Structure 1
Amino acid sequence: MLVAILLGFIFSMLMPVAGKFFKGKFAIVSSLVPLVLFAYFAQFIPQVSNGDLVVHSYSWVPAFGVNLDFNLDGLSLLFSLMITGIGFLVFVYTASYLKGHEYLDRFYGYLGMFMAAMLGLVLSDNLISMFIFWELTSISSFFLIGFNNSNPESRRSAVMALAITGFGGLFLLVGALFLGAVGGSYSITELLSSSEAIADSPYYILIAVMIFMAAFTKSAQFPFHFWLPGAMKAPTPVSTYLHSATMVKAGIYLLMRLTPVLGSTEFWNSTLLIVGAITMTYAAVHTLFRTDLKGILAYSTISALGILVFLIGQGTEGALLAAAVFIVVHALYKATLFLVTGIIDHQTHSRDVTFLKGLRKVMLPVAIAGFLAAISSAGVPPTIGFLGKELTYESTLAVVGTPILWIALILITKILLLHAGFVAGISPFMGKLPAKLQNTKTPGPLLWVPPLILATGGILLGIFPGLIDGPLIKPVVTAMGENVGDQYLALWHGFNTVLWLSVATIVIGTVLYFVLKPSQRLVATAARVEFLSPKSLMTGAWNIFNTISSFWTGTFQNGYLRNYVSTIMVFMIGLTGYALWNTATFSINFSTLTDITLYEVAVVGMMMIAVIYTVFTRSRLAAVASMGVVGLAICLVFVFYSAPDLAMTQFSIDTLTVILFVLVLYRLPRYLKLSNYKTRIKDGVLSIAFGAIITVLVLEVLAEPVGSEISDYYAQNAYVLAHGKNVVNVILVDFRGSDTFMEIAVLAIAAIGVFALLKLRLKETDQR
């Protein structure tokens, strides 16, 4: 299973080497990667449907309980099949949609990386490894959304998506750490047995909030939804893959996966119920005020994600069954509508639904796919959308408390989503073809076959729901801790309240479609209240934060090294001085100190004279030379106290520093008034205060009892364990070898950077 996940990463890493092969007529060969993975996961359907689990574990950091544990059950299998199945069709579609694009190989590399990250996320049974894959999906989606990097809007949308989803990832990490600490393990399977203890923990609310924040940001729940419409600046294959079938459902997957662990409380269910209801209704209303096809689909996607959160919040067996079915429903019809929109944009160079008409005459296969997807989104029988809608109504009717409110909200949402589906899937193909579109041609099969397959799947699964009922849907509900019993999927359940709600949805939604047409007037109406939207409010908060940050940076990081040093010293004096004022004893037994020798007094006197000369000289070179005297005097102090290695290091570094300073300053004016008297007074006061703080610290250290356990350990084991007689060298090379190695690596990287800068030859235009 690890190899299956790594296959996408390996494919991506091959792009820089074999990318040219995938940019030409062989681009479609890349689709074999998701196809092979789809076949691999499909073979587990019989095993998983029988209730068996496929578990693979690989040791990674066992000391911290972090392993690469993968668990294939009903829930992870459903998502894996969607990721690879829809991924295969998107790869095929991309071969034609981006045919001849200069960076097609790069695009495939990003897609492969994203597919692998999503597979790792849904298959992970360890919270920490799940977090790593979670962040990889955010990073790879950043590359995909910003693929058209010459477009400022694409770059801005990519940064926005990364900021929101990456921000949520931090909450996931905190939640995972607390959950692992409370539950005693990072393994999700092991946490199932600790669900009651976790619910009774004082940290339960904190854990739940952290998981909510991660899921809500990833799955575009109100008020974090605004990044998803902006991400529609990406190419259509990205919108199809990331924002209808996979990435935006990562948050949904997280909630479904942790429902058996955290979902046994009123706080969990009520929060999801309320947030889901607000999101689905808010986004559904927004679809009325959009004329761009991608904009309509973006808000309808947000609404659909809200429905899924709403169903998970209900927490009942019927609600979880409805959520499982609706995941399949939404993936099929929304991916189809996105692909259809991409074809329309590709062939007509427009996504304006007020302009697009009559396209059935020039692209009939695309029109058929759009029509089938539209009726599936509307829940018209015999599509699988009808089953999903009935299950949603049935579970909502059973909600304890105020079912009338929830039924009203879900009914309004479904009616508006029907309207949005008809506008996106039917409206562009009906009516008279405009004169400007007379020359529009039917696209090649690589473009229209993938959406037609998905749309046909929505009809086929509606007529034969048994194809997914036992093999896929019921194992999903079982994985969430519920038992569906003898319940089965079927188109007909008799005349009941659910049926009449479905009929009302279709009738009212269809009437609304014919009565309320998208228009610029509605767009202008929404624009007038845009300042109240979460996006505008958060953008305003961001601007305030940016202004404060700019002021802070301009004040404390103004490009002057002396200002940086002064700022650091002031804060250190203030913090350390405050601590010493409350804790320092200022007492020391001078009788325990060794006698002061004449040569020590001489060396200190040399240092003081050199320091005074440095302060008052007007010559740069003289100041550098006198500072060199201070450094050499410190070398003598090290020699006096039996530290020849430190003395040699100090001598080498100090000598080299003096030489470099002299070379740099040699051609500058020799005499110069470096600062005025006010600056010197300020620097003098700061230096005296800093020296006083260091002196007090040294006295406090000398007054503390010395523990020799660590030094004794190194002295006793330097030769025995490391076979070295120089204890200091043994510590650096063996006991702290990793630390030393990293320091050497940093120096090597810095040296390479300096060498590259020295060799850099810029054009005159670049220099300016």
Structure 2
Amino acid sequence: MLIAVLSGLIVSILYVPFGKYLKGRLSICVSLLPITLFAYFASFIPSIRGGNHVTFHYPWVPSLGVNFDFHLDGLSLLFSLLITGIGSLVFLYAAPYLQGHRYLDRFYAYLSLFMAAMLGVVLADNVLLLFIFWELTSISSFFLIGFNNDNADSRKSSLIALGITAGGGFFLMAGLILMGHLSGSYSIQEMLGTNEYLKSHALYGWILALVFAGAFTKSAQFPFHFWLPGAMKAPTPVSAYLHSATMVKAGIYLLARLNPVLGGTDYWMYPLVIVGGLTMLYSAFHSLFRTDLKAILAYSTIAALGILVFLIGIGTPESLLAASVFILVHALYKASLFLTTGVIDHETGTRDITQLGGLRKVLWPLSIAGVVAALSSAGVPLTFGFIGKDLIYEATLHTQGILPIVLTAVAVLTNIWVLYAGFLAGIKPFAGALPERYAHIHLPNPLMWLAPLLLALLGLLFGCFPFLVDGALLNPAARAILQAPIGTPLKIWHGFNPVLLLSGITLAIGTLLYVIRKPSSHNLAFVERFNTLSPRYIVGRIARFAKVISRRYTNTLHNGFLRVYLLRIIVFAVLLLGFRLFTGGAVSLTLNHLSPISAYEIIVAAILIGAIFLAVTTPSRLTAVVATSVIGYCICLQFVFYSAPDLAMTQFSIDTLTVVLFVLVLFRLPPFLNFANRSTRLRDWTVALAFGAVISLIAIQVLNQPFDEAVSRFYGDNAYTLAKGKNVVNVILVDFRGFDTMFEIVVLSIAAIGVFSLLKLRLKASEKE
């Protein structure tokens, strides 16, 4: 399992040295990865169908409670098969779609990395591991959304998406850590045993708020929805993969997975129902006014995500089964519509629905895929969407205590608008007469039309024979969300009942709306009048205000002069330390218990003071360096006086090396440029004396504190037995401060990479200006 999850990460790394060999026809070979993973996860279907679940444990950082713990049940299996199954088709589709693209190797590397991150999210049992993969999805999607990096809109959209989803991830991290701390375990399966304790805890509300922030931002819930339409700047394979079946459903998965742990209360139910209901209505309504195919699909996707949040919030067995079914329903028809849109854009050069029509005559396999997918999105009988829609209405009608009539009305209205959007995207481009400018169009590579056709036909197959996926996938997924058996089998026909009536009303009004209402740019202009009230505009204003404040702050406090930085740091330290020193009690200046000062200490101190004075007054850089080295050697002598020869030798080596390097670097530089006037010198002297006085007082206070030998005794007793070293100081630095040393090495390595990059940078003349 660990290899299966990390295989995408490994492949993405291998693309760095070998990607250039996979830009041509061999690029299709990388599709073997998701196909193999799909077969691997499909092998678990018999076991999951029998009510079992599979757990994998791989130790990682057990001392911190972070391990590679993976849990495969009905819910994670459903998502894993979607990630790898639709991923396989997207990988195959992308090869001809992006054929000849100079960054095709990068695209597959990013896509493989994203697939690994999504598998990690849906399979992780440890919430800290889940968060790591969660953030990895945000990072990899940032590169995919901004793949066309020469386009300013793509770069902006990727930054907005990263800002929203990563910001939500920050709050999610806090919520998951809080859950783990209160429950005493970071394992989701172990949290199930403490769910009542978590729900009754005083921090339960804060946990919900933090988890909701992460889920709502990732799954584009109102008012964080606006990043998703902007993300449509990405290539179509990205839109089909990320925004129909995977990334945007990560938040849905999180809510479904944590439903047994945190759900079942009014604090869980009402926010999800309200936010989900508002999102589905708002976005479905906006889809009516769009004329770009991707924009239509984007807003209808947000509506579908709102429906899923809405159903999870209701929390009944019927609603959770409906959510499980709709996850698959939506993934099939929406991925098909996205891929169909990609072919239309690829062949015609436009996605404007007002300019498209009659394409069935030249793209007939795509017309079948588009029409069947549109019918499934509408919920026409014998399609999988019909079963999913009926389950939604059944869930809302059987809701107890929260106005089932209102919930049902919201669901019906949303589905009417989603039907209209689906017909626009799947039927409108192929209906009517073929414009003369598109008469030359021909079918593209079969891989580009087989993928959407297969997905659409699967929606038809599962609609006619729902038992193929009911017991194997959907019922186990709902059982995992509810943590209880769900015995309701999926059926095509439930007889004449209110649910069937609502389905008929939805189809009739939605079809009538499609026939009567024609898409127009004037409709889009009308709704754009209210952009100043939209969340995107409000967040944009906040971002611009923050940018102005940041620029002023930077220009004031970070003006590029090292001397200014040092002055402010020292002044802040003087004020902070001085305040704490003089408010923490009486300051003791007793020095009677110290050893008497010897003559050679006075001589060394005098030399040190003279060197300091010379270093700060000389106009020569080399003289200042030599004076600084004298200061270092005086400190070496002080170490020798107090029986610390190892520290003295270390200080001596560092000082000598530093002086040599400074001399080599500064030898040809001119003398100091002295811009300081008398007031500036007085200020600097005042700050320096104040800082020295504060540090001296702190040192005297430390010397007057009782000496506790416990720490020294611990290192002395354990240096050899635990770390196998006889030099206690070295053992402390190397072993007991290992993490500190490791991070110092990392910082130096990053700095070295940055310097190397600058040395190798080759700018054009225009860029230099």
TM-score higher than 0.5: yes
Q: Evaluate the alpha carbon distance shift between residue 671 and residue 577 of structure 1 in structure 2; reply closer, same or farther with a 3 A threshold.
A: closer
Q: Mapping of 1:266-415 within 5 angstroms?
A: 266-399=266-399, 400-415=401-416
**Residue number in structure 2 paired with 1:60:** 60
Residue pairs, 1:303-702, within 5 angstroms: 303-399=303-399, 400-481=401-482, 483=484, 485-670=486-671, 673-702=674-703
**Structure 1 equivalent of residue 708 of structure 2:** 707
**1:737 shift after superposition:** 4.6
Shift in alpha-carbon separation, 1:767–1:234, aligned structure 2, 3 A: closer
Structure-2 separation of matches of 1:167 and 1:564: 29
Equivalence for 1:16: 16
How many angstroms apart in 2 are the aligned matches of 1:632 and 1:217? 58
Give the Cα separation in 2 of the matches to 1:530 and 1:312.
30
Give the Å deviation of 1:340.
0.7
Offset at 1:610? Answer: 3.2
Counterparts of 1:514 and 1:104, CA distance in 2 = 41
Q: Deviations over 1:407-432 (max 9, x none)?
A: 22111111100110011111111111
Structure 1 distance, partners of 2:697, 2:167, is 43
CA distance in 2, matches of 1:764, 1:353: 43
For the 8 Å contact 1:268–1:313, the answer to whether it is kept is: yes
C-alpha offsets along residues 539-563 of structure 1, whole Å, 9 cap, x if unaligned?
1111111111111111111111100
Counterpart of 1:564, as a letter, is Y
The CA distance in 2 between the partners of 1:13 and 1:760, in whole Å, is 23
Q: 1:469 to 1:721 in 2, by over 3 A?
A: closer
Instruction: State how far apart, in whole Å, the 2-side matches of 1:101 and 1:723 are.
Output: 56
Select between 322-331 and 55-64 the one with higher mean Cα deviation.
55-64
Q: 671-680 or 703-712, which moves further after superposition?
A: 671-680
Summarize the Cα distance change of 1:510–1:21 in structure 2 as closer, same or farther, 3 Å threshold: same
List alignment gaps of at least 5 residues for structure 1.
none
The residue that corresponds to 2:89 in the other structure is 89
CA distance in 2, matches of 1:556, 1:751: 26
Tell me how far apart the structure 2 counterparts of residues 506 and 365 of structure 1 sit (CA, whole Å).
25
How do 1:175-214 residues align onto structure 2 when only pairs under 5 Å count?
175-214=175-214
Are the equivalent residues in 2 in contact too, given 1:573–1:690 (CA < 8 A)?
yes
Residue 207 of structure 1 deviates from its aligned partner by 1.1
> Could you tell me whether the CA contact under 8 Å between 1:619 and 1:672 is conserved in 2?
no
Displacement of 1:325 after TM fit? 1.0
Compute the displacement of 1:756 (Å).
7.4
Q: What is the CA RMSD across the aligned residues, in angstroms?
A: 2.2
The separation in 1 between residues aligned to 2:7 and 2:753, in whole angstroms, is 33
Deviates more, 1:287-296 or 1:660-669: 660-669
> What's the offset of the Cα at 1:761?
8.1
SS at match of 1:125: coil
Question: What secondary structure is seen at the aligned counterpart in 2 of 1:289?
Answer: coil
- Alpha carbons of structure 1 residues 547 and 757: separation in structure 2 relative to 1, 3 Å: closer
Deviations 1:615-667 (A, max 9, x none): 44444444444334333332322222222233333333334444444454444
Q: Which residue of 2 aligns with 1:246?
A: 246
Change (3 A) 1:646 1:119: same
Partner amino acid, structure 2, of 1:139: I
What is the number of residues matched between the two proteins? 768
Query: For 1:671 and 1:39, how far apart are their aligned partners in 2?
Result: 70
Cα distance between partner residues in 1 of 2:768 and 2:512: 64
Shift of 1:726: 3.4
Per the alignment, do residues 121 and 643 of structure 1 end up closer, same or farther by CA in structure 2, a change over 3 Å counting?
A: same
> 2-side partners of 1:503 and 1:763: how far apart?
64
Question: CA shift at 1:161, angstroms?
Answer: 1.3
Alignment-derived partner of residue 39 in structure 1: 39
Q: TM-score, normalised by structure 1?
A: 0.96
Distance in 2 (alpha carbons) for counterparts of 1:661 and 1:674: 23
Cα contact 1:199–1:264 (8 A) shared by 2: no
- Give the CA deviation at 1:757: 6.2
Tell me how far apart the structure 1 counterparts of residues 240 and 672 of structure 2 sit (CA, whole Å): 69
How far apart in 1 are the matches of 2:628 and 2:313? Answer: 70
CA 1:141–1:724 in structure 2 vs 1: closer, same or farther (change >3 Å)? closer
Q: 1:483 to 1:584 in 2, by over 3 A?
A: closer
Q: Does residue 25 in structure 1 map to residue 31 in structure 2? A: no
Deviations 1:487-509 (A, max 9, x none): 22112212221111111111111
CA deviation profile, 1:437-481 (whole Å, cap 9, x unmatched): 122222232111111111111111111111112221111111112
**Share of identical aligned residues, percent?**
57
CA distance in 2, matches of 1:359, 1:150: 31
In the TM superposition, what whole-angstrom CA distance separates every residue of 1:298-318 from its partner, at most 9, and x where no partner exists? Answer: 000000000000000000011
Deviations 1:75-129 (A, max 9, x none): 1111111111111111121122112222222212222221122112111111111
Cα gap change, 1:575/1:616 in structure 2, threshold over 3 Å: closer, same or farther?
Answer: same
Q: Which moved more, 1:673-682 or 1:2-11?
A: 2-11
Partner of 1:258: 258
Specify the code of the residue in structure 2 equivalent to 1:608. Answer: I
| Partners of 2:288 and 2:421 within 8 A in 1 | yes
Contact 1:624-1:662 at 8 Å conserved across structures: yes
Contact 1:620 1:672 in 2 (8 A): no
Which one is further off, 376-385 or 753-762? 753-762
**Which string of whole-angstrom CA distances, capped at 9 and with x for unpartnered residues, describes residues 527-583 of structure 1?**
211111111111111111111111111111111110010011111111111111210
Corresponding residue SS for 2:59: strand
**Whole-angstrom distance in 2 between the partners of 1:515 and 1:409:** 22
Change (3 A) 1:700 1:158: same
The 1:759–1:412 alpha-carbon spacing in structure 2 relative to 1, beyond 3 Å, is: closer
**Cα displacement (A) at 1:729:** 2.6
Tell me if structure 1 keeps the 8 A contact 2:384–2:460: yes
**Is contact 2:128-2:176 (8 Å) kept?**
yes
- Distance in 2 (CA, whole Å) between partners of 1:96 and 1:207 is 46
**Matches of 1:91 and 1:487 in 2, distance apart?**
36
- Deviation digits for residues 661-699 of structure 1 (CA, Å, limit 9, x no counterpart): 445444445476452111101101111111111011112
Contact 1:337–1:370 (CA<8 Å) still a contact in 2?
A: yes
* AA aligned opposite 2:41: F
What do the CA deviations read for 1:704-731 (whole angstroms, capped 9, x no partner)?
1111112123334445555654332333
Range that drifts further, 491-500 or 260-269: 491-500
Asked if the contact 2:479/2:486 (under 8 Å) is kept, the reply is no
| Range with bigger deviation, 11-20 or 550-559 | 11-20
What per-residue deviation string (whole Å, max 9, x for no partner) do you get for residues 390-412 of structure 1? Answer: 11111111222322222221111
Return 447-456 or 292-301, whichever deviates more: 447-456
Change (3 A) 1:552 1:403: same
8 Å CA contact retained: 1:415, 1:509: yes
Structure 2 length normalisation: TM-score? 0.95
Question: What amino acid maps onto 1:538 in structure 2?
Answer: V
Matched-pair contact (CA < 8 Å) for 2:262–2:268: yes
Of residues 634-643 and 725-734 in structure 1, the stretch that sits farther from structure 2 once superposed is 725-734
Alpha-carbon distance between aligned partners in 2 of 1:586 and 1:596, rounded to the nearest angstrom: 22
2:225 corresponds in structure 1 to 225
Question: Relative to 1, partners in 2 of residues 1:666 and 1:231: Cα closer, same or farther, differing over 3 Å?
Answer: same
CA distance in 2, matches of 1:437, 1:493: 45
